[in-house]
Every structure is written in structure tokens, then in C-alpha cells.
């Protein structure tokens, strides 16, 4: 399990939430995830080129609305710096959990041989599972809600251990199980023509 690669990039994506400039934070997060997916693919023995990674990064929703919300939220952050700092830290934990989960999902899909050939379908399954089940690790911690430890390999380093714990409080194991079920439900590819 490439936890060091996943957790390092998840930390980078989480730190992007602390960038106080609207849109730049979102672009930085996408750049970090784009690079992470390539490295995860390399560790899994598959080549995830730029177009495949962009398909995996395609998230549903309206980017214009997201940019507008970010632009309106920025002045509020400036006015209420101390309160907003708490929210920024929460965003960082949320993005860390999101990036960790998405990295694990790319790894699982690559291990199944679904990447790069079925990147669009895998991306849709990733987005659906994340939207459906992934919560905030901060909220989970405050409510003392965590999933039982998943059957992951022992983490080799402190950052990877933190990534696993953060994901547990964010309902990550259930989201990962939902993703696996969505992959199981994908129709098989037609057999290649003989000849």
C-alpha cells in the first residue's frame, strides 16, 4: 500500500486549503492530486497520463458557483480571521481525508486493472462515493464517531498513521467499501475482437 505517497500528497492538498486567495487554493489542490495520481499509478505498475488523471479529477458540480462562493467567502475570512482560522484548519483536515481517500480509490482501481482504460467510470464512482459517505474528520472526532480500523497494512510512518486515523473519523472505510461496491457493479468490458 503506497501510504507514504498518498499521505504526502494528501498533506499537500490539505495545506492548499490554507491559501487565502480564492481559486488559487482550488487550483493548487488539483495540481497536487494530479501529480499524486501519476505516482500512485506508477507504484501500481500502470501509466496514468494527463488525460486519464484529468478524468479522475473531474468532479461534479458547477465551477462557476464554486468560484463565486470562494470570492465572496474571502472578504469574510479577512474580517473574522480568528474564527475563520478554525474553519481553515477544518478544511485542511477535510481535504486531507478527501485526498487520502481518493488516493486509496485510485490505488484500488489500478490494482483491479481498471486504469487507465476505465478512468471516466472510475472517476464517477470515486466522486459518488465521496459525496455520499465522506464526512468531516473534525466533526467525527468531536462527536466521537469513528469507524473501526480498516484492514489496511500497518503504516510505516507517522504521517501515514495520521492519514489512516483522520480517514477513520471521516467515515472513510465506509466510503471506500461503497467505492469497491461501485467498481464491482461496473459492467465488464466487451472482449477484444480476435484476429
What is the residue-wise DSSP string for 34-50?
HHHHHHHHHHHT----H
Radius of gyration of the chain (CA): 17
Give which of 8, 13, 43 is closest to 31, Cα–Cα: 13
Mean pLDDT of the chain, nearest integer = 82
The full set of domain ranges for the chain reads: 3-181
pTM of the model: 0.68
Query: What is the C-alpha to C-alpha distance for residues 36 and 87, in angstroms, rounded to an integer?
Result: 25
Q: What is the DSSP letter of 112?
A: T
Mean pLDDT, residues 170-190 taken together? 89
Res 116 pLDDT > 70: yes
- Chain-centroid distance of CA 151 in Å reads 19
Mean pLDDT, residues 121-145 taken together? 88
Amino acid at each position: 500500500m503506497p501510504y507514504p505517497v498518498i499521505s504526502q500528497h494528501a498533506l499537500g492538498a490539505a495545506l492548499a486549503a490554507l491559501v487565502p486567495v480564492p481559486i488559487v487554493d482550488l487550483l493548487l489542490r488539483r495540481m497536487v492530486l494530479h501529480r499524486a495520481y501519476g505516482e500512485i499509478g506508477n507504484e501500481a505498475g500502470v501509466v496514468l497520463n494527463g488525460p486519464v488523471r484529468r478524468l479522475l479529477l473531474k468532479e461534479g458540480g458547477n465551477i462557476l458557483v464554486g468560484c463565486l462562493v470562494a470570492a465572496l467567502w474571502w472578504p469574510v475570512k479577512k474580517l473574522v480571521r480568528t474564527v475563520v482560522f478554525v474553519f481553515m484548519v477544518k478544511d485542511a483536515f477535510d481535504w486531507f481525508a478527501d485526498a487520502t481517500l481518493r488516493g486509496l480509490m485510485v490505488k484500488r482501481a489500478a490494482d483491479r486493472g481498471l486504469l487507465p482504460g476505465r478512468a471516466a467510470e472510475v472517476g464517477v464512482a470515486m466522486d459518488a462515493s465521496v459525496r455520499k459517505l465522506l464526512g468531516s474528520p473534525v466533526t467525527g472526532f468531536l462527536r466521537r464517531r469513528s469507524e473501526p480500523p480498516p484492514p489496511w497494512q500497518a503504516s510505516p510512518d507517522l504521517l501515514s498513521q495520521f492519514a489512516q486515523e483522520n480517514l477513520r473519523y471521516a467515515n472513510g472505510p465506509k466510503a471506500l467499501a461503497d467505492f469497491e461496491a461501485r467498481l464491482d457493479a461496473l459492467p465488464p468490458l466487451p472482449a477484444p475482437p480476435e484476429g
